[in-house]
Amino acid sequence: MRIPRIGIVSRTYRHINRYRQILTVLVKYGFGGLVDRLRISQYLETGLQLLSREKPAQVEMLTPAERVRLVLEELGPTFIKLGQVLSTRPDVLPPEFIDELTKLQQHVPPFPFEQVRETIQTELGRSLEELYAEFAECPIAAGSIAQVHRATLVSGEQVVVKVQRPNIRAMIEVDLEILLHLATLVERHVEGWRVYHPSRMVEEFSRVLERELDFTVEAAHIERFARQFAQDPTIYIPKVYRELSSRRVLTLEYVDVIPATDTTALRAAGLDPKVIAARGAELTLKQIFVHGFFHADPHPGNAFVLPGNVICLLDFGMMGRIDRQTREQVADLIYTVATRDAARVCRSLLRLAKPPDDVEPDLRAMERDVAEFIDVNIPVALGDLQFGRLVHELMRLIRQYELSVPPDMVTMLKAAATVERLVARLDSDLNMMAVAEPYIRRLKLQRLKPKRFLADVYESTEELWHLAREVPSGLRDLLRLAKRGALKINFEHRGLEKLIDTHERVANRVSFAIVVAALVVGSSLIVHSRLPPTWHDIPLIGLIGYLAAGVLGFMLLVAIIRHGRL
């Protein structure tokens, strides 16, 4: 969804209560210093001076990561979802924050059944009784965006119905507008964060939420995933009932499953955790290295098992895509790490993760750090390598050198590491990297096949041909603009943000001082003229003017002292 930026009018009036609530929660959990660094009072009249700076005693005992999690939980659905998305970005956040964000819980009460009925009837155009033979009023699960009910179709088939919360879109749009404003201030005022482009991250997050708010997108994801594995008997994907689904309602086949992490229940049902672990690892690697379309949120709450050790995945709202070139680059990176060649690892890493604009990384220092990382963490055989450890160390290097990684690639690495932890709970002897080795070798060998080589040459030649055809027309357009005197060259100035902020602050204070001076002079003239009404022979209008000038002057003095400059 498109996020409107906070403008002149909305700085003071639009969504002000929600903005103040967000800032209050930040201060409550010990982030008042960050709020001050963002200089929000320059851009938005939120009454920050009225916010309590006292923190609950128990907050002092919490780590910064725990406090961030509590902030997100208290601020509700949008922020909980933001934390879940950020938990897939180890390139941006340190491990302790990633671990804490994965614990995010949604304490969301269910909404009334009458609203469920109204939403279904509005979306599907028929009454609930016409659509379903039975419909359970009590939900089996309630989340921040939707809740799920059991139902029976007229045909007798058992289904689950996912119904979106009323007015959730409007609430999310307000929060996204505020988040984008905060991200812009972080880029401007917090040192070291500009390289991560927080405003771009918020815009990407808005696209994730847009897809999650449209259940037809999730239905399409499920159907594509089912087609990918239609011939694979080791996985089962529930059926989508398209005629009973819409943007805000999703009807799926009900499946009686066992949680993949409940080893006691699995064994009681005659299932084998080791077989399930091996199939889960294979399923994950096929998604990534064969199809390039993968479940981006494979946490234990979305992984289940059916009789026959058949794996069943649920919740396809968050999916990732990774193109063939990126898959091959990831395979190259893992392979070069296994060969213990620091120089090739650096080259492979820089093909995947780009350095900041106009900044060249120190290759010698990077090679030295990579060599140390290999010596300490990488075994001789690829099959002995721990995937989660590899991801952790690579992300540390990416953060250290401020490299920019495509979000889907980071999501893929995080998803694979999550599955590795789940697999380890089922079979501690299974190594994900040993299972991945054939897939990595196959990807490398495919590039050497004559058919693939000729296809790449043909594609490159075709692109060169199109470029050669476009160059003359482009030059002709430039010459035409030059002849008309309409040729323009844009220059981008960088590093002037602080100077602009200073000028804005000076201009605001001068304007404020002029208003105070005008009030003093005007009030003096009124007092001198002795215009009625009066109080003790002093005109009341003049007294009010003096009082207003005094209050405004005091506020200006406080603002100047608070910023440390007189």
The string of DSSP codes covering 295-335 is ES---GGGEEEETTTEEEE---SSEEE--HHHHHHHHHHHH
Residue that wins the pLDDT comparison between 11 and 229: 229
Return left, alpha or beta for 109; rule: phi > 0 is left, psi -120 to 50 is alpha, else beta. beta
Task: Answer yes or no: is 267 within a domain.
Answer: no
442 and 357 in one domain?
yes
| Closest among 2, 52, 18 to 182, alpha carbons compared | 18
Task: Give the C-alpha separation, 11 to 20, whole Å.
Answer: 12
Q: Does the bond joining 533 to the residue before it have cis omega, within 30 degrees of 0?
A: yes
Identity at 397, one-letter amino acid code = L
User: Which tokens sit at 495?
Assistant: 């590093």
Place 7 in a pLDDT band, splitting at 50, 70 and 90: very low
Q: Are residues 342 and 427 both part of a single domain? A: yes
Please, which pLDDT band fits residue 73 given cuts at 50, 70 and 90?
confident
Residue 306 placed within a domain = no
DSSP-assigned beta bridge partners for residue 103: none
d(CA 179, CA 3): 10
Final residue belonging to a domain, choices 433, 450, 467: 450
Boundary (domain end) residue, out of 417, 450, 483: 450
Question: Is there a single domain that holds both residue 442 and residue 508?
Answer: no
First to last CA, the chain: 44
Contacts of 338 (CB under 8 A, 6+ apart): 378, 381, 382, 385
Residue 335 domain-assigned (yes or no): yes
Q: Does residue 429 fall inside a structural domain? A: yes
Is 441 found in the same domain as 333? yes
How far is residue 63 from each of residues 59, 100, 548, measured CA to CA in Å? 8, 10, 45
Give residue 9's pLDDT band: very low, low, confident or very high (50, 70, 90): very low
Highest average pLDDT, of 45-59, 497-511, 540-554, comes from 540-554
pTM for this prediction: 0.71
Q: From CA 89, how far away is CA 79, in angstroms rounded?
A: 15
Specify whether 327 is located in the same domain as 435. Answer: yes
To the nearest whole percent, how much of the chain has pLDDT over 70?
Answer: 86
Q: d(Cα 298, Cα 530) in Å, to the nearest integer?
A: 79
Look at residue 493 in the predicted model and tell me its pLDDT: 65
pLDDT at residue 2, rounded to an integer: 54
Residue listed under structure tokens 């005693």:
57
pLDDT (tens digit per residue) in 533-554: 777 777 777 778 778 877 777 7
Asked if residues 249 and 123 have their Cβ atoms less than 8 Å apart, the reply is yes
- 458 lies in some domain: no
The answer to whether residue 468 is domain-embedded is no
Q: Could you tell me which of 331, 560, 413, 162 has the C-alpha nearest to residue 552?
A: 560
Distance CA 505, CA 336 (A): 53
The percentage of the chain sitting over the pLDDT mark of 90, rounded to a whole number, equals 22
- List the single range of 1-10, 129-138, 348-357, 427-436 with lowest mean pLDDT: 1-10
Active site residues: 297
**pLDDT value of position 55:** 57
Domain boundary among 423, 450, 477: 450
User: What pLDDT, in 10s, does the model give residues 520-536?
Assistant: 787 787 777 777 777 77
Which pairs from 200-204 meet CB under 8 Å and 24+ separation? 201/89, 201/92, 202/3, 202/176, 203/3, 204/407
- 409 assigned to some structural domain: yes
Q: Which residues of 111-142 are buried (b: 16+ CB within 10 A; e: fewer)?
A: bebeebbebbbebbeeebeebbeebeeebeee
Give the number of domains in the chain. Answer: 2
Q: Which domain holds residue 378?
A: 320-450
**Rounded to the nearest 5°, which phi and psi values hold at 108?**
-120, 120
Return the pLDDT at 458.
Answer: 67
Supply 440's token pair: 């990595």
pLDDT digits 0-9 by tens, 249-302: 999 999 999 998 888 999 999 999 999 999 999 999 999 888 989 998 887 778
SS3 call for 495: coil
Check: CB of residue 431 under 8 Å from CB of residue 419: no
Task: Give pLDDT tens digits for 406-425.
Answer: 777 878 888 888 888 888 88
The answer to whether residues 446 and 377 belong to one domain is yes
Maximum CA extent, the chain:
103
Contacts 24+ apart (CB under 8 A), 94-103: 94/399, 95/392, 96/63, 96/65, 97/64, 97/65, 97/68, 99/65, 100/63, 100/65, 100/66, 100/68, 100/69, 101/65, 101/68, 101/69, 101/72, 102/299, 103/69
Closest CA to 242 of 139, 133, 146, 123: 123
411, part of any domain: yes
Residue 274 has what pLDDT?
A: 92
In degrees and rounded to multiples of 5, residue 297 shows phi and psi of: -135, 60
In Å, how far from its chain's centre is CA 213? 15
What is the CB neighbour count within 10 angstroms for residue 522? 15
Provide Rg for the chain, Cα atoms. 30
Place 435 in a pLDDT band, splitting at 50, 70 and 90.
Answer: confident
Amino acid at 398: I
Does residue 409 sit in the same domain as residue 331?
yes
